[in-house]
Amino acid sequence: MPRNRLSPEKWIDAGLDALAASGPAALAAEPLARRLGTTKGSFYWHFKDVPAFQSALIDTWRTRAVSSLAQAVAGSDSPDQRLRTLGRKVLQDRQEAALRIWALSSKDVAGMLSELDTERVTYISLLLRELGLGNRDFAVAMQATLAGLPHLPATKTQAQLAVFDTLVDTVLALSE
C-alpha cells in the first residue's frame, strides 16, 4: 500500500494545531510525528531541526495572518464592517492566542507578533480615518483589545466578539 508523503506544509499545519491545543511544548518532532501517525525521520527529512521547524511555523502563521488582515481591510464592506470582520478573524484564531503565550518565552515569536501588531494598528488606523477618526490611539486600543481578550478568564469567543463590537460601536459614536 502506498504511503502518503507528508509535506512541510502538513507538518506546519499539524504544528499549528498542536500549538493551539497543547502549547509550545507540543512543537517537537516526536509528539508531532505521533500526531501525524509517522516517524520522526519524516520530520527531519523536511526540517533541519526543531528550531528550523519552529521558525518555518512562525513565518507561515505570520504570512497567513498578514494575508487575512489585508483581505479583511480591503473588502468592499463599509469601514466599520471591515473592522468587525477583522476582529472576528483575530478572535476566532486559537493559534494566535497560543502564539501570544509562547511569545512570553520566545524572542522570535514576540518580535513577529510585535511587527504584526504594528501592521494591524496601521490598517485599523486606515479604516478609522475612513470613518473620520484620525486619533491613532483608537487603533492602538482596538489592537490591544484583540490581543488581550482571548486571555481573559472565562470569556468565550462569542462574548469576546460582543466586547469588540461594543468597542467599535463606542468609537463610531465618537465620530457622530
pLDDT of residue 1: 35
Domain boundaries, given as residue ranges, for the chain: 8-174
Section 168-172 average pLDDT: 92
Burial 127-166 (b: 16+ CB within 10 A, else e): bbeebebeeeebbebbbebbbebbeeeeeeeeebbebbee
In this predicted model, what pLDDT tens digit does every residue of 68-79 receive, in sequence order?
Answer: 888 888 878 899
Per-residue pLDDT at 55 exceeds 70: yes
pTM exceeds 0.85 for this model = yes
What string of DSSP letters covers 29-70? HHHHHHHHTS-HHHHHHH-SSHHHHHHHHHHHHHHHHHHHHH
> Given 1.10.760.10, 3.30.70.370, 1.10.287.1260, 1.10.357.10, which CATH number is that of 8-174?
1.10.357.10
Section 42-66 average pLDDT: 95
In this predicted model, what pLDDT tens digit does every residue of 135-160 receive, in sequence order?
Answer: 999 999 999 999 999 988 767 888 89
In this predicted model, what pLDDT tens digit does every residue of 102-117 receive, in sequence order?
Answer: 999 999 999 999 999 9
